[in-house]
Amino acid sequence: MAKFKRYDYSQKVLIPVSLEEQLVPGSLEFAIHTLVESRMDMSVFEDKYRNDETGRSAYDPKILLKVVLLGYARALISSRQIERACCENVTFMALSGNQRPDHSTIAVFVSSMKDQILPLFCDILLVCEQENLLGGTFFALDGLKLPANASKESSGTVAELKKKRRKIAQKVKRLLKDQIAADKDDDDNLAGPSSRERQIDKLKKQAARIEKWLKQNDAKIGVNKKELRSNVTDNDSAKMYTAHGTVQGYNAQALVDSKQQVIVHGEAIGKGLDNDNLAPVVDGAKKNLERIGKGSDYFEGKILTADSSYHSVTNIAKCNEEKLDAYIPDNKFRNRDKRFATRVGYRPRSKKFTFADFKYDRDKNQYICPNGKRLKPLGKTGRHKGKLLKRYVSNETDCRRCDLRVRCLQNKEAKRRHFTYYVDASGKNISQAMVQKIETQKGRKIYPQRIGIVEPVFANIRVHKGMNKFTLRGKIKVNIQWLLYCMVHNIEKIANYGFA
């Protein structure tokens, strides 16, 4: 007969565990513990507590911040997962001093850090500076579109939401009639009415939520004065188009220093397009760097790269204002680069004449077309959306008789060629100047470095840290969560290359 080792589940086992010894120098948890204890000013939380004379003792913010940071580093995005880790994982037990905060305490702590998150982020940024992890010469900007804790089906204009509310009301009426008919039928299955009742209750709650939202909110108006789609669940979020399909979410921005890929500022913005996202991120980075002792002219002369989605007059003007040496290509720059000819999706340069094919006569303030005809200024330099605007137009007779009109005019019915573009204070077309800058040998050498600087940062946060969606609602709370992840990323850099 086979013999097996006997086992007994009723036996008692005492396992001596030193919490301090679980925090091994060189590990991420050791870096989190050391930074929170000795390098971060936790007094920013003092004003939140009023229990010095009465009330129950609260969990120390140091303990809560440590477990949240480690939880985010281990892809534990929900407060319930972090609570469970504090009960089961010895590393979390060590960081929490064997305390076990419940998920409600953790959730409230994270969502209420509105006034504390930036000072804490800057404390970590200061450590990065002290550990010589910031190069301060080359920066890259990009955004990561992540789903919000909201449904796409809850989106729409005010008119669309009202229509949806009416449809729900009509459906409820139909279901109520069916319910009454079913109650009269003695042979009706008992499971049917119960299921129908739950459906009616669910629809009533949806209608009530939409009704409440319509009473408390107005239509969202975009910069072009057109109404944007609102969202009943999280109105700060927006419907965005990504490589993975359409999502209802936020555009998480990050400005990254090139030396060790440290994030100098992060901000979650409820807008899919990046055409005016550069200014708030650069302004936020300036404030963060001033907090750690840098001057207000810190970005002057520094290199900044961003992809073609940031190529806009607003963003380029901001770079010029800050005297940044920016490299932001337009969305057709690859079509002009023969190095991309072998790649899938490459399209050769259009045969149509572009702005670059027209020569500028500065003395007469006129443009000369490829056929030698002149485009004269149309009125004085005006303003549009706060920016200078210049217009030039050709002679209708010249265009009617021109042999090159097919390559010059946008459509067959057009009578003459127009130029309309934004200019800076000197009268220079800043968008075209940026295009020409990218086309230079220096521009072609600098811009490709962007991918190696900023893309690995998002890969680390989204793939390795498991940040594939926001769990909180509202821009303020979502921004807290994004900055916590940016902080985790920077702490990991300190652990790998700094003191720990």
Kindly state the tokens that stand for 85. Answer: 């880790």
Beta bridge partners of 303: 138, 325
The bridge status of strand 220-221 relative to strand 227-228 is: antiparallel
What pLDDT sits at residue 85?
96
Length of the chain: 500
Give the count of alpha carbons within 13 A of 351, CB side only: 4
Distance CA 451, CA 260 (A): 14
**401 φ/ψ angles, rounded to the nearest 5 degrees:** -100, 0
User: If we measure between CA atoms, which residue out of 313, 412, 320, 429 comes closest to residue 367?
Assistant: 429
- Residue 404 CA: distances (Å) to CA of 267, 377, 399, 417: 48, 22, 8, 12
Rounded to 5°, the CA angle 13-16-19 comes to 135
**441-469 CB burial, b ≥16 within 10 A, e <16:** eebeebbeebeebbbebbebbbeebebee
Distance CA 335, CA 347 (A): 6
Pure H helices in 19-138: 28-34, 61-73, 79-88, 90-95, 103-111, 117-130
Which element (helix H / strand E) includes 477? helix 475-497
User: Residues 65, 70, 75, 78: what is their CA dihedral angle, to the nearest 10 degrees?
Assistant: -30
SS3 content of the chain, % helix, strand, coil (to 5): 45, 15, 40
What pLDDT sits at residue 491?
97
Which element (helix H / strand E) includes 144? strand 138-147
Residue 37 makes CB contacts below 8 A (sequence gap 6+) with 62
Distance CA 308, CA 295 (A): 29
Name the DSSP class of 223.
T
Burial class (CB in 10 A: 0-12, 13-18, 19+), 164: middle
- Residue 323 CA: distances (Å) to CA of 223, 334, 424, 437: 26, 26, 13, 15
Kindly state the tokens that stand for 80. Answer: 């319930």
Q: Can you say whether the dihedral through the CA atoms of 250, 258, 33, 98 is positive or negative?
A: positive
**Residue owning tokens 């002219």:** 297
Helix axes 103-111, 475-497, angle to 10 degrees: 100
Distance CA 33, CA 96 (A): 10
**274 φ/ψ angles, rounded to the nearest 5 degrees:** -100, 15
Residue 335 makes CB contacts below 8 A (sequence gap 6+) with 346, 347, 348, 349, 350
**335-358 CB burial, b ≥16 within 10 A, e <16:** ebbeeeeeeeeeeeeeeebeeeeb
What pLDDT sits at residue 385?
53
What pLDDT sits at residue 500?
47
Which element (helix H / strand E) includes 166? helix 158-184
One-letter amino acid for residue 37 of the chain:
E
User: If we measure between CA atoms, which residue out of 267, 247, 263 comes closest to residue 255?
Assistant: 263
Residue 272 makes CB contacts below 8 A (sequence gap 6+) with 145, 238, 239, 240, 241, 251
Distance CA 362, CA 376 (A): 12
Averaged over successive runs of 10 residues, the pLDDT of the chain (500 residues) comes to 88 86 93 95 89 85 97 95 95 94 96 95 96 95 94 88 89 82 61 71 88 88 82 91 88 96 96 92 96 93 95 90 93 69 57 76 85 82 60 86 83 80 66 86 93 96 94 95 97 85
